[in-house]
Structure formats: C-alpha cells, structure tokens
Amino acid sequence: MTGAGRKSSQKGGGNIYNTISVTYVKKALGDYKGRLADIHERIQELYRLGNDSEGMIASLTFRKEPEEKQRDLSSLLLRHRAMMAEQEQEIRMEMWRLAEEEETLRRIWVCYRALNELHFKIIRRLYVEKELYASVERECGMSHGKFEKERSAAMKRIVELYHSDLDNLEILAGPDLK
C-alpha cells in the first residue's frame, strides 16, 4: 500500500508513504470513514495488548517442557522483561505505521476537498458515493471524452496536491477552493 502522509503542520517532508497512485486515491476516497475506523480500532487493540503484562506473566509461568527442570524466579523475570521490551517496541512500530496511514488518508481527503466545484462533484459521485460512471457522466451533461478528461484532471490534481510541499491548511486555502 502506498501513500504520502504528512503532518498537517509540516510542509512536504517524507515518511514511509512517499508516493500515492490514482488507484490508492480511489480506494481511500471510497472507504474513508471505514478505513479511519479500522485504524482507530487497531490502535485501541494495540493499547490493550500493550497493557496485558499479566497475561504474559501467566503464560510464562505455566509453560513447561517435559525435560525442563524447575524454573527459578529470576530467569522467569529476566525472560519476561526481554519479552515485554520486544513487544513494546513492536507495538510502538505498529502504532507509528498506523498513524502514518491515517495521515495519508487525511491528506488525500484534504486534497479531494480542495478541488474546484466541477472536479469535486465528479470525484465525490464516482468514488465517495460510488455512483455509476455512465450516470454521473450523463448528469454532468458532457461528452464521454470531456467527462473523462475532467475526471482524469481531478485525480491528477489530488495526486499533485498530495505530493506538494504545501501543508493541509495551505491546500485547503489554495486557489482551487471555490
């Protein structure tokens, strides 16, 4: 999955989501709220997992192997500390990745909202509301060629804005906002 998440207070800058494709933009717009809800749910799950040290202690205490001698408490605690440190790092990395994914989705949404009225209408109806292409084209009163040119220009504009050095507030205040 590719994208280009940036903090709204930063201009440009890079992170793990440095580029996005038109296909990614379509998916992001098509299920924006659902994807954000999934990210938030996964973050909450990671918080719960990070706070479940009692479960890890219990699993260490009751795991026995046939030829193993009785475990002493100090080796158990050392093993527990090492496992907790590793799990804590894994959770932090996953939360960071999820935050990056959320920033990417939010930036795409900002770029979409900054489109001019015609482009916003076309993209909203096609990808957010998931209306049929032919229906949207017909209701816009354009030839197929003209409609496809406008749709394509709108998607390209989202990608351009996304990759720009502008922060999210600057994008929303930009000249395309009408």
**Residue 3 pLDDT grade (very low, low, confident, very high; cuts 50, 70, 90):** very low
CA-nearest of 153, 163, 166, 177 to 8 is 166
The three-state secondary structure class of 154 is helix
Alpha carbons 20 and 5: distance in angstroms, whole number: 9
Give the residue extent of every domain in the chain. 22-172
Which whole number is the average pLDDT over 112-141? 96
What would the pLDDT profile of 133-154 be if each residue is shown by its tens digit? 999 999 999 999 999 999 999 9
DSSP string for 8-28 = TTSSS---S-----HHHHHHH
Contact present, 138 and 124 (Cβ < 8 Å): no
Residue 37 has pLDDT above 80, yes or no: yes
- Asked if pLDDT for residue 10 goes beyond 50, the answer is no
Burial 73-112 (b: 16+ CB within 10 A, else e): eeeeeeebeeeeeeeeeebeeeeeebebbbbbbbbbbbbb
What's the whole-number mean pLDDT along residues 123-134? Answer: 97
Q: What is the pLDDT of residues 89-101, one digit of tens each?
A: 999 999 999 999 9
**Which residue matches tokens 């017909």?**
138
Cα 123 to chain centroid distance, Å, stands at: 19
- CA distances to 70, 122, 123 from 155, rounded to whole Å, are 65, 10, 8
pLDDT class for 74, splitting at 50, 70, 90?
confident
Answer whether residue 116 shows pLDDT above 90. Answer: yes
Each residue's pLDDT tens digit, 57-68: 565 555 555 455
The CA distances from residue 44 to 49, 51, 59, 95, 114, in Å, are 9, 11, 22, 10, 31
